[in-house]
């Protein structure tokens, strides 16, 4: 039994449980089981705490730190240029926040704060502030965030109730106590101030349910429940502008708010979360069959991201993985778990099976579009 991280209700049994290894969002393996619990009261899904969480984020978790220009691919624009994730986040954040002139804004859990840097480049009247639970990123803040506007490990007392806006991109899914976290944000905002955050939308990207360091898998219902409990009025829950994520805008309220009870939306969200857990259960069974069929034989894995890495964690010891195939130009020539990452066109001729490690909502179409992945004698194994 465990307590819901959002509403505190007791959740009896996990809806998904598999033995170690668990896989993190930065595709490293942890020697712990994966367990997901679904709350029928508020529609939240959550994973077990990961061991030594403070050290993990202080020194073990580095996003885009290796190179100045490394950024995650987001989409290709109509004119063929590549759109990077932080460019899209910056434009979307400016639109959703609609900040007044000279507003004071805090990037809370900022990492390198690329999104805020791009927002300030577009709006030089803004007063940027940054905070993170690691000092690894301080170098990336120099030159554009004033020294007094930088904080690590603890937020200065003098920052309480001072900001027009606080934003957190892909942070809240990692925290053990999301409502407590949102209350901390509430205390940093001026009355009526705006909180913008993004978190994965597990319904749009079911892989999120199996990510070990994502302790929270929010639904729209559990987002509303958490924010209301922390004293926010919800203004926008957008799950279309950034596929696979929620972008949420809420306003800090001075008055206590009525926290919603179980709603039809929460019941539906819980059902959807349990269905996703069932998907991962059957994916484990399919991989077990695949391992029995291809034990010690040569196979390739399509996708070196989360899904492909998850497959590797399940089959890597039992079969001979000769390559990961991936379209991401940044991974060309790299190795992943010591195995070469190749362009899909370079699928090794001796591979007898291709395990498909893609978002199951998009996998069939992505593979069908690549005729070179159809070859007599090559079996496709789907999640």
Is residue 33 within 8 A of residue 22, CB to CB? The reply is yes
Q: Which is nearer to Zn ion, 6 or 299 (CB)?
A: 6
Report in angstroms how near the CB of residue 4 gets to Zn ion at its nearest.
3
**Per-residue x/- mask for Zn ion, residues 218 to 237, rule CB under 5 A?**
--------------------
- The CA–CA distances, whole Å, from 309 to 174, 188, 319, 325, 327 equal 20, 38, 14, 11, 15
- The CA–CA distances, whole Å, from 12 to 2, 9, 38, 276, 312 equal 7, 10, 9, 18, 31
Report in angstroms how near the CB of residue 226 gets to Zn ion at its nearest.
9
**Per-residue x/- mask for Zn ion, residues 146 to 165, rule CB under 5 A?**
--------------------
Report in angstroms how near the CB of residue 220 gets to Zn ion at its nearest.
14
Report in angstroms how near the CB of residue 7 gets to Zn ion at its nearest.
3
Q: Which is nearer to Zn ion, 110 or 276 (CB)?
A: 276
Q: Is 265 exposed, middle or buried (0-12, 13-18, 19+ CB in 10 A)?
A: middle
Report in angstroms how near the CB of residue 22 gets to Zn ion at its nearest.
22
Q: Which is nearer to Zn ion, 4 or 245 (CB)?
A: 4
Q: Which is nearer to Zn ion, 44 or 129 (CB)?
A: 44
Give which of 253, 102, 233, 74 is closest to 169, Cα–Cα. 74
Q: Confirm or reject binding of residue 325 to Zn ion (CB under 5 A).
A: no
CA–CA separation, 20 and 144 (whole Å): 43
Number of residues that bind Zn ion (CB under 5 A): 8
Report in angstroms how near the CB of residue 176 gets to Zn ion at its nearest.
14
| Residue 79 CB partners (closer than 8 Å, separation 6+) | none
Q: Which is nearer to Zn ion, 7 or 113 (CB)?
A: 7
Kindly indicate which of the ranges 1-9, 70-78, 338-346, 361-369 contains the residues binding Zn ion, using the contact rule CB under 5 A: 1-9
Cα first-last separation, the chain: 29
CA–CA separation, 138 and 152 (whole Å): 8
Residues within window 271-290 making contact with Zn ion, judged by CB under 5 A? none
CA–CA separation, 154 and 345 (whole Å): 49
Report in angstroms how near the CB of residue 227 gets to Zn ion at its nearest.
14
**Per-residue x/- mask for Zn ion, residues 3 to 42, rule CB under 5 A?**
-x-xx-x-----------------------------x-xx
Q: Which is nearer to Zn ion, 134 or 228 (CB)?
A: 228
**Per-residue x/- mask for Zn ion, residues 44 to 73, rule CB under 5 A?**
x-----------------------------
Give which of 287, 314, 335, 315 is closest to 21, Cα–Cα. 314
Instruction: Label the pairing between strands 189-200 and 163-169.
Output: parallel
Q: Which is nearer to Zn ion, 270 or 300 (CB)?
A: 270
- The CA–CA distances, whole Å, from 332 to 104, 324, 326, 346 equal 41, 10, 8, 11
Residue whose entry in the numeric block shows the structure tokens 């170690």: 20
Helices 178-188 and 220-229: crossing angle, nearest 10°? 50
Q: Which is nearer to Zn ion, 31 or 258 (CB)?
A: 258
Residues that bind Zn ion (CB under 5 A): 4, 6-7, 9, 39, 41-42, 44
């Amino acid at each position: 039994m465990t307590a819901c991280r959002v509403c505190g209700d007791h959740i009896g049994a996990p809806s998904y449980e598999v033995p170690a290894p668990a896989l993190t969002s930065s595709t490293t393996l942890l020697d712990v089981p994966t367990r997901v619990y679904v709350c029928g009261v508020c529609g939240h899904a959550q994973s077990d705490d990961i061991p030594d969480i403070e050290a993990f984020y202080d020194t073990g978790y580095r996003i885009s730190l290796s190179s100045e220009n490394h950024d995650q691919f987001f989409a290709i624009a109509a004119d063929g240029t590549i759109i990077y994730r932080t460019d899209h986040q910056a434009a979307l954040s400016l639109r959703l926040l609609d900040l007044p002139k000279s507003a004071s804004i805090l990037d809370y859990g900022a990492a390198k704060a690329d999104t805020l840097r791009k927002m300030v480049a577009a709006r030089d009247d803004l007063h940027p502030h940054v905070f993170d639970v690691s000092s690894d990123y301080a170098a990336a803040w120099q030159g554009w965030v004033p020294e007094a506007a930088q904080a690590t490990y603890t937020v200065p007392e003098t920052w309480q109730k001072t900001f027009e806006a606080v934003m957190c991109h892909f942070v809240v899914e990692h925290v053990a106590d999301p409502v407590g976290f949102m209350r901390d944000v509430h205390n940093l905002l001026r009355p009526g101030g705006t909180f913008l955050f993004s978190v994965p939308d597990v319904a749009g990207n079911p892989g999120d349910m199996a990510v070990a360091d994502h302790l929270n898998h929010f639904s729209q219902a559990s987002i509303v429940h958490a924010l209301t409990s922390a004293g926010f009025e919800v203004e926008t829950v957008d799950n279309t502008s950034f596929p696979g994520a929620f972008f949420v805008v809420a306003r800090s309220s001075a008055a206590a708010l009525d926290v919603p009870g179980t709603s039809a939306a929460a019941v539906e969200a819980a059902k959807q979360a349990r269905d996703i857990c069932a998907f991962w259960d059957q994916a484990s069974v399919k991989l077990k069959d695949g391992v029995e069929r291809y034990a010690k034989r040569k196979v390739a894995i399509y996708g070196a991201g989360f899904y492909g890495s998850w497959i590797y964690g399940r089959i890597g010891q039992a079969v001979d993985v000769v390559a990961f195939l991936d379209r991401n130009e940044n991974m060309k020539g790299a190795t992943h778990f010591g195995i070469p990452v190749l362009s899909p066109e370079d699928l090794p001729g001796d591979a007898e099976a291709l395990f498909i490690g893609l978002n199951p909502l998009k996998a069939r179409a992505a593979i069908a579009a690549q005729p070179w992945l159809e070859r007599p004698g090559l079996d496709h194994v789907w999640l």
